[in-house]
Amino acid sequence: MTQTLNLRFKVHALMGSYDPSPGTVDDENQMGSIIGKMLQFPTTYTFSVVGRTESIAGDVYANEVKSALSSVLGSDAKMELRVIPRGKKFTRSWVR
């Protein structure tokens, strides 16, 4: 699926879908022209966070990640959480 998304973005870039409006400054000092075209707000974003968890349980770590995101996004943000162990020392938390 990631390859499909990457190909889609490349094709749209080649077709000019992300080009700035005429008369808009387009140089290395500008930010957000591509991401602004790709995202419509409000939107769903997936955070993937990997951390060392050999001294704590993976679920505890994942809840700390979710808590950190809640402090930024607000406690009313609807979040889906997945915990994916990565060997014995690391845990991946996937939050959407």
In the prediction, which pLDDT does 63 show? 79
Say whether both 51 and 38 belong to one domain: no
**Count: domains in the chain:** 2
Say whether both 66 and 88 belong to one domain: yes
Say whether both 25 and 66 belong to one domain: no
Q: Which domain holds residue 13?
A: 1-42
Say whether both 30 and 74 belong to one domain: no
Say whether both 84 and 52 belong to one domain: yes
Question: Tens place of pLDDT for every residue, the chain, 96 residues?
Answer: 556 656 777 787 778 777 777 887 777 776 666 666 666 666 777 878 888 877 777 777 777 888 888 888 777 778 888 888 788 888 888 888
Say whether both 36 and 48 belong to one domain: no
Spatial distance between the Cα atoms of 72 and 93, rounded to a whole number of angstroms: 17
DSSP annotation of 19: P
In the prediction, which pLDDT does 93 show? 80
Element containing residue 35 per DSSP (H, E): helix 33-38
